[in-house]
Amino acid sequence: MQFEVSDMAAITLATEFYGALADGYPIEAAMAEARKAIFNAGNDTEWATPVLYLRATDGRLFDLQRTSENTPDVVHAPVEPTRPEALPLPLPPAAEVQEEREAEPEPDAETAVAAKREALPRAVAAGLVAAVGLAAAYLLPLYTKPSGEDVSWHSFGPIQAKYGSVFSSLEMLALIAGTALAAILATRPRWRPVAAGLLTGFGIAGTAKGASTLWWIHGTVDTSPKAGAYLLVVASIVALAAGIHLASVSPEPRARVGMGSIALAVFGAALMAAAVRIPHRSQNGQATWVLHKWHGLGYEAIAVALIAVAVVIIASRAGRTLFAGGVLLALGAAALGYWTWFAGVPTIQDVRGHGVQPLPGGFIGMAGALLLLIAGRRLATPLMPSRRHTG
């Protein structure tokens, strides 16, 4: 087996393969019959999973010859031997002929498998390109202040607190490292569905972050965005497209989504959505929350929360738990960096005596992100190994 296979594919393979061997087929012909049976069962991907490597010139394992019993001895006269006339074989019924024709796999099946193998390097390359684009978006300026100073993600934090850039950079660094890691994991067949989910999740998180950043710059800073903001959106869309494309060429056995994972994801998403309306800092007795001060940036957390709920609902219906686990892991990692910013900067300001006190909003958002990570970890780990077969 090249990859893991489902129960139905394994049962069909064993039945047809050993049945063909018992009928006297060579081992390579028996494997071909088994692969055709899997394909004819409606499985257009797993029929290519079983493979046979053979060095022998003849794959016939058994020489089965039918002989009649109790044949009397016959003494032949010394006459010139003649070749007996060959009897015509009986023609199979028309229904069996039609069934054999239908049993043959379509010529396009092999082409489809080859196309999927060629699509994998493109998805990996697109993921790596997206990671490089996100790194460039992190370094390039987002906008220019009226004083003429360029502001980027790594220089954004010091506007509020010294060393605050550590916290304003966390989400971008998670997007960069996570996208690159997902592209590398995509080269390993076992991790390919999870890698597709990671690329999709980081693409979704980056697109939401880029869109909310553009909205915030236009509506709050009252200036024009620069290359860093636009590149963030473009690179995230590339990662999203790479993840979806990789998921389409990465078969995954169906598995049940546990209620515990669904509850964790939904509760974590609810905490993040609520946290944007809960104060995260207080200065001179005036509380501030994300949607109040940062407005456009707050909608990123709401979008990520809604998408996380949609992912677990779709996964519960489609049974693609590994892909859904990768998406939730990516969304949770990005959200954790997002909420650490709103919890960490007020904490630094409080420690440095700037008259700012941290409030629960940022920490509640962090708790929600952690719940998404836990739910993603549960889904990305095969909880029921008996549902999968390895060769």
Number of neighbours of residue 29 by Cβ within 10 angstroms:
15
pLDDT digits (tens, 9 = 90+) for 369-389: 999 999 999 888 753 343 443
Question: What value does the mean pLDDT of the chain take?
Answer: 78
Separation CA 165–CA 142 (nearest Å): 14
- C-alpha angle 329-241-9 in degrees, rounded to nearest 5: 70
Residue type, 255: A
Percent of residues, the chain, with pLDDT higher than 70: 75
Separation CA 243–CA 235 (nearest Å): 12
pLDDT score, position 72? 52
pLDDT score, position 353? 65
Percent of residues, the chain, with pLDDT higher than 90: 28
336 vs 43 pLDDT, higher one: 336
Give, in order, the Cα–Cα distances in Å from 72 to each of 69, 75, 148, 282, 316: 9, 10, 111, 108, 69
Going by their DSSP bridges, the two strands 356-358 and 150-151 should be labelled as: unpaired
Number of neighbours of residue 110 by Cβ within 10 angstroms:
11
Contact present, 241 and 206 (Cβ < 8 Å): no
pLDDT score, position 182? 93
Name which of 50-59, 61-70, 252-261 the model is least confident about: 61-70
pLDDT score, position 265? 92
Q: How confident is the model at residue 74 (pLDDT cuts 50, 70, 90)?
A: very low
Separation CA 247–CA 231 (nearest Å): 24
Based on the number of CB atoms within 10 Å of its own CB, is 275 exposed (0-12), middle (13-18) or buried (19 or more)? buried
Q: Which residues pair with 144 in a beta bridge?
A: 150
For the cut 50, the answer to whether the pLDDT of residue 76 exceeds it is no
HEC-encoded secondary structure of 63-96: CCCCCCCCCCCCCCCCCCCCCCCCCCCCCCCHHH
pLDDT digits (tens, 9 = 90+) for 129-188: 999 999 999 989 888 877 778 888 777 654 454 555 677 788 899 999 999 999 999 988
pLDDT digits (tens, 9 = 90+) for 8-51: 778 888 888 888 777 778 878 888 888 888 887 767 677 778 88
In degrees rounded to 5, what are phi and psi of residue 318?
-90, -20
Tokens matching residue 164: 């605050």
pLDDT score, position 274? 92
Of 133, 382, 356, which is closest to residue 258 (Cα–Cα)?
Answer: 382
pLDDT digits (tens, 9 = 90+) for 202-231: 999 999 999 988 888 887 666 788 899 899
Of 198, 192, 190, which is closest to residue 130 (Cα–Cα)?
Answer: 198
pLDDT score, position 391? 39
pLDDT score, position 143? 85
Tokens matching residue 350: 């409080």
Contact present, 5 and 391 (Cβ < 8 Å): yes
Enumerate the H helices of the chain as residue ranges: 7-22, 27-40, 94-103, 107-139, 165-168, 170-185, 192-216, 227-248, 259-275, 290-293, 298-318, 321-351, 360-380
What is the mean pLDDT of the segment spanning 302-314?
89
Separation CA 239–CA 198 (nearest Å): 9
Place of tokens 């707050």: 298
Of 314, 324, 323, 333, which is closest to residue 371 (Cα–Cα)?
Answer: 333
Of 368, 339, 220, 138, which is closest to residue 347 (Cα–Cα)?
Answer: 339
Contact present, 119 and 182 (Cβ < 8 Å): no
Q: How confident is the model at residue 75 (pLDDT cuts 50, 70, 90)?
A: very low
Tokens matching residue 114: 């080859």
pLDDT score, position 370? 96
Contact present, 170 and 183 (Cβ < 8 Å): no
Q: How confident is the model at residue 97 (pLDDT cuts 50, 70, 90)?
A: very low
For the cut 80, the answer to whether the pLDDT of residue 69 exceeds it is no
1 vs 145 pLDDT, higher one: 145
Separation CA 41–CA 37 (nearest Å): 6
Count of positions (residues) in the chain: 391
pLDDT digits (tens, 9 = 90+) for 349-368: 666 666 778 889 889 999 99
